[in-house]
């Protein structure tokens, strides 16, 4: 059996004699093509899983109402999915209902946008500089456990209108998850990378944009997704208590007028809008951090 000879680097003598230098590029690993082939299957599997999950929920709801389940929880007054769907077809064409949805979306995006700018900016600052963290973070920790709904009376006194108060409460709901996750992301950046960049003599600006920010981005987007969820909870609570329009106000008004189908419809609309907002954040996150999508596909 013949043993393959090792490939030797060309000697200086051969190069001097004019022998051509051939550089052979390493073969591309076949595994790199796997994520691209997996993407259609992963998307199909995700869609099927979501359809099965929602279908099971609707079926359980339908059966519980049909057979009037009364085992600690009672479905005697709960509307059936078909009844909710009939009301939905009428209400979605109603201008007043459309205004409820529009105002809730306007409030959520305004409050969330302000919370994102301040929360991410302050989180990067507190995570990067210990002195700033020691000065500012204790005061924030005192405010953080106060639920957004407890801020409703105070915000009505603080701000000149109910509309601004609702946006402020929405901002508070989103702010703390964004702040804490951003700060944690900065602190979790690998210190080896930081020391390596320092040893190369990079500027503070380059350190921030090339090392700190990319390393913290996964935590930042986790905070944004969590903040969006809490923002919706805070918004609905504020609209129910002090609002005159909005999907939260619509749901509470339906309860006051004993319109059970509209209560269920309001809850479903809140859930769908929250899902779409969170999906938008994940979509932006995948475009900003393409390496995260690759890693997820590679470890599927």
Tens of pLDDT, residue by residue over 12-26, are 444 344 444 443 444
Do 205 and 196 form a contact (C-beta atoms < 8 A)? no
pLDDT at 298: 55
107 inside domain? yes
Beta carbons of 189 and 124 less than 8 angstroms apart: no
Residue 84 in any domain: the answer is yes
Please check whether residue 194 lies inside any domain of the structure. yes
Whether 132 shows a pLDDT value over 80: the answer reads yes
The predicted pLDDT at position 88 comes to: 93
- pLDDT (mean) for 33-57: 78
232: domain CATH number? 1.10.3720.10
Question: Does some domain include residue 33?
Answer: no
Q: What is the mean pLDDT of the chain?
A: 85
In a domain, 76, yes or no: yes
The answer to whether residue 111 scores a pLDDT higher than 50 is: yes
> Residue 1 falls within a domain, yes or no?
no
Is pLDDT above 80 for 45? Answer: yes
**Region 167-174: what's the mean pLDDT?**
96
Cβ neighbours of residue 252 under 8 Å, at least 6 residues apart? 239, 240
- Tally of structural domains, the chain: 1
| Per-residue confidence (pLDDT) for residue 72, from 0 to 100 | 85
Looking at the predicted structure, is the pLDDT value of residue 242 above 70?
Answer: yes
Task: Provide the token pair at 222.
Answer: 């986790």
- More confident of the two residues 34 and 99: 99
Print the domain residue range for 262. 64-298
pLDDT band at residue 39 using 50, 70 and 90 as cut-offs:
low
Q: Give the HSE-up count for residue 10: Cα atoms under 13 Å, Cβ half-sphere.
A: 13
Mean pLDDT of 241-269: 93
Q: Does residue 73 lie in a domain region?
A: yes
Torsion angle, alpha carbons of 193, 195, 198, 199, to 10:
-110
**Structural domain contains residue 94:** yes
73 beta partners:
71
Read off the pLDDT of residues 187-230 as tens digits, 9 standing for 90 and up. 999 889 888 988 888 888 888 888 999 999 999 999 999 999 99
């Amino acid at each position: 059996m013949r043993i393959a000879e090792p490939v030797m680097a060309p000697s200086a003598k051969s190069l001097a004699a004019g022998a051509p230098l051939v550089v052979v590029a390493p073969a591309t690993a076949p595994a790199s093509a796997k994520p691209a082939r997996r993407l259609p299957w992963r998307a199909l599997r995700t869609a099927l899983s979501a359809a099965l999950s929602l279908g099971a929920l609707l079926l359980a709801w339908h059966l519980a109402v049909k057979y009037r389940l009364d085992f600690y929880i009672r479905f005697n007054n709960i509307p059936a999915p078909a009844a909710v769907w009939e009301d939905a077809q009428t209400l979605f064409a109603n201008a007043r209902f459309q205004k409820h949805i529009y105002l809730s979306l306007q409030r959520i995006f305004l409050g969330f946008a302000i919370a994102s700018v301040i929360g991410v900016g302050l989180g990067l600052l507190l995570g990067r500089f210990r002195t700033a963290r020691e000065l500012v973070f204790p005061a924030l920790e005192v405010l953080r456990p106060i639920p957004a709904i407890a801020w409703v009376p105070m915000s009505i006194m603080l701000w000149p209108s109910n509309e601004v108060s609702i946006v402020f409460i929405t901002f508070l709901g989103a702010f703390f998850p964004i702040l804490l996750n951003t700060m944690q992301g900065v602190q979790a950046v690998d210190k080896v990378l930081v020391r390596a960049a320092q040893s190369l003599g990079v500027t503070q600006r380059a350190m921030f944009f090339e090392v700190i920010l990319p390393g913290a981005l996964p935590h930042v987007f986790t905070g944004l997704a969590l903040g969006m969820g809490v923002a919706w909870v805070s918004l609905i609570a504020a609209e129910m208590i002090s609002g005159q329009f909005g999907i939260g106000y619509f749901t509470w008004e339906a309860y006051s007028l004993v319109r059970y189908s509209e209560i269920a419809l309001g809850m479903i609309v809140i859930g769908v809008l929250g899902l779409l907002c969170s999906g938008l954040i994940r979509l932006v996150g995948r475009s900003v951090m393409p390496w995260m999508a690759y890693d997820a596909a590679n470890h599927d």
